[in-house]
Chains A and B, each alone.
Chain A
Amino acid sequence: MGEADPLLAEIEALYRARFAYFVRVARAIVGDRERALEAVQDGFADAIRSRHTFRRDGSLEAWVWRAVVNAAQKAARRPLVEPPFAASEMSDVPAPPESGPLLSMLTERQRLVVFLRYYADLEYRSIADALDIKVGTVSATLSAAHAAIRRTLLGVTNRD
């Protein structure tokens, strides 16, 4: 990589500017910080390796988001296995947080759209590119998510 590579430089700039946002979304997907950090590193590495396939018909950030979300989803699918050694040492690892009552009502796609909208502050167009869906689907998915959350909140309020 001795020659100037503008796209690589753009990916690096994105990594440095938005690292914390990527980790937050990844953490929400995989459930713990350590695996989220791994997913972000792997996602960016994947993006670098396949950068020659980036067509610039969408934003670079959305394209990288897709790589990171894929890496996080892949990590989330791997089962957690207890280590064979040093079991007592597990005490210094915080338990992965679980979704609260609102997010647990959502489908996986709704959760992803909500994560990208609220943690990463992405526009609908970028969310659509990142998840490889249409802009209209993003809008509909967010509306459905809000409706599900509203129903949950109303249920809580009515019970009170």
Chain B
Amino acid sequence: VIDLEPALIEELEALSPPEPDGGDWQDVLLRSEPRRMPRGRRRTLGALAVGVLGVLGLGTAASAAFGWKVSLFWAWVNSYPPGRTSPIVSVFSGPDWSLVAWMSHKGICISYGAPGAAGNGCEGTHPATIDLWGGEVSLKQSFMYGTVSGQVDKLVLRLDSGRSTSIPLRAEPALHTRRRFFYSTIPAVPARVFQAQWAPGNLLAYDRQGRLLSRRRV
């Protein structure tokens, strides 16, 4: 007679070890709310809406002209960019730039637009604790943006000079993700240092108990 329990339990423990209590009930409540567009984002999304309406008009006209099924066109519009499963939200914006994000089958996707700089892509459904999406380090401007996992309570940029800056984290409930976004400028760079492939310091992610979860060189 073979006792199944020990072997099975050992395998189950390895597959999914015991979890600590906790959770984030407020996050659950946020996710359960009907999706509404925050008032503060209307201006940025206004420009996006104008573009979409233009595409709609052209598409509808094309549909009528070529006899395509309008429903198919609408289905395409509603899922554009391909694989999109959430509304497109404006996460950060400035006078002449914006960073919009949406959820897709490839995880969180972003599009960053600014004069002379742009970026887009999806981070995948298995992103790192600190996922640095992009940024720029130059004498003119230095900044970075990305996401952190839901376990991260505090994100700190610790410069090699010894200076530390806490970076605000922004949740986007409409995207139905626990990951949070960050955008941060980096203090002015001395020309002498920048010429030597300047890397200003480290991004440090801490949980609620102050434990270091991840470190990333930037």
Contact = CB atoms under 8 A, between A and B. Distances in A.
B211 interface: no
Nearest to A49: B32
A33 to B, nearest CB: 8
B146 A118 contact: no
Contacts of B8: 102-103, 114, 118, 149
A20 B134 CA distance: 34
B124 A82 contact: yes
B111 to A, nearest CB: 12
B178 A41 contact: yes
B147 to A, nearest CB: 10
Interface stretch (B19-27, B56-64, B74-82, B92-100): B19-27
Interface residues of B, number: 50
Contact of A80 (B20, B124, B131, B134): B124
Interface stretch (A24-32, A52-60, A123-131, A132-140): A24-32
B18 A24 contact: yes
B16 A119 contact: yes
Contacts of A28: 12, 15-16
Interface string A68-104: 0000000100111111111001101100110111110
A80 B122 CA distance: 11
Contact of B121 (A1, A34, A85, A157): A85
A122 interface: no
A61 interface: no
B148 to A, nearest CB: 11
A103 B11 contact: yes
A12 interface: yes
A4 to B, nearest CB: 15
A37 B128 contact: no
B124 A81 contact: yes
Contact of B28 (A15, A21, A32, A81): A15
Interface of B: 2, 4, 7-9, 11-12, 14-25, 27-29, 31-32, 105-107, 121-134, 146, 149-151, 176-178, 214, 216
Given A44-B28, A81-B107, A99-B15, 5 more contacts: A15-B23, A40-B23, A41-B150, A78-B105, A81-B126
